[in-house]
Chains A and B, each alone.
Chain A
Amino acid sequence: MHEMFLANALLQQVLEIAGQHDLETVEEIEVEIGEGQHVDPEALAIGFEALSQDSLAAAAELRLTPVSLQARCRECETLFAPELLSFSCPSCRQADAEIIAGRDVILKSLSGPTRDPEETP
Chain B
Amino acid sequence: MKVQVVESVLKANDAIAATIRQQIQAAGVLALNFTSAPGSGKTTLLEKTITALGAENRCAVLVGDLQTTRDAERLADAAAQVVQINTGRGCHLSATQVSEGLAQLDLTGIRYLFIENVGNMVCPAGFDLGEALRVVLLSVPEGDDKVAKYPTLFQAADIILLNKVDLLAVLEFDRQRVHDDLSRINSRAELLEISAQTGDGLEQWLQWLRKQASDQSS
Which A positions have Cβ atoms within 8 angstroms of B?
1-2, 5-6, 9-10, 12-13, 17-18, 21, 23, 31, 36-38, 74, 84-88, 94-97, 99, 103-114
Which B positions have Cβ atoms within 8 angstroms of A?
1-13, 89-92, 94, 122-123, 125-126, 148, 151-152, 155, 182-188
Check B6 against A85 for contact (C-beta < 8 Å).
Answer: no
* Residue in B7, B90, B185 whose CB lies within 8 Å of A13: B7
Among B94, B125, B151, max chain A CB count under 10 A is at B151
CA distance A55 to B168 in the complex (A): 56
Check B10 against A86 for contact (C-beta < 8 Å).
Answer: no
Check B10 against A104 for contact (C-beta < 8 Å).
Answer: yes
Instruction: Note all chain B residues with C-beta closer than 8 A to A97.
Output: 155
CA distance A106 to B133 in the complex (A): 25
Instruction: Note all chain A residues with C-beta closer than 8 A to B91.
Output: 1-2
* Residue in B3, B9, B123, B186 whose CB lies within 8 Å of A21: B3
Q: Quote the shortest CB–CB distance from B9 to chain A (angstroms).
A: 4
* Residue in A5, A95, A112 whose CB lies within 8 Å of B184: A95
Check B152 against A96 for contact (C-beta < 8 Å).
Answer: no
Instruction: Note all chain A residues with C-beta closer than 8 A to B151.
Output: 84-85, 87
Instruction: Note all chain A residues with C-beta closer than 8 A to B122.
Output: 2, 38
Check A86 against B1 for contact (C-beta < 8 Å).
Answer: no
Q: Quote the shortest CB–CB distance from B193 to chain A (angstroms).
A: 19
Q: How many A-B residue pairs have CB under 8 A?
A: 104
Check B126 against A94 for contact (C-beta < 8 Å).
Answer: no
CA distance A12 to B8 in the complex (A): 12
Check B7 against A107 for contact (C-beta < 8 Å).
Answer: yes
Check B12 against A13 for contact (C-beta < 8 Å).
Answer: yes
CA distance A84 to B122 in the complex (A): 13
Check B12 against A12 for contact (C-beta < 8 Å).
Answer: yes
Instruction: Note all chain A residues with C-beta closer than 8 A to B94.
Output: 5
CA distance A112 to B7 in the complex (A): 18
Check B4 against A108 for contact (C-beta < 8 Å).
Answer: yes
Instruction: Note all chain A residues with C-beta closer than 8 A to B184.
Output: 85-88, 95
Known: A17-B5, A37-B126, A85-B148. A95 touches B10 (CB 8 A): no
Check B188 against A95 for contact (C-beta < 8 Å).
Answer: yes
CA distance A103 to B155 in the complex (A): 12
Instruction: Note all chain B residues with C-beta closer than 8 A to A104.
Output: 8-10, 126
Q: Quote the shortest CB–CB distance from A54 to chain B (angstroms).
A: 21
Instruction: Note all chain B residues with C-beta closer than 8 A to A12.
Output: 12
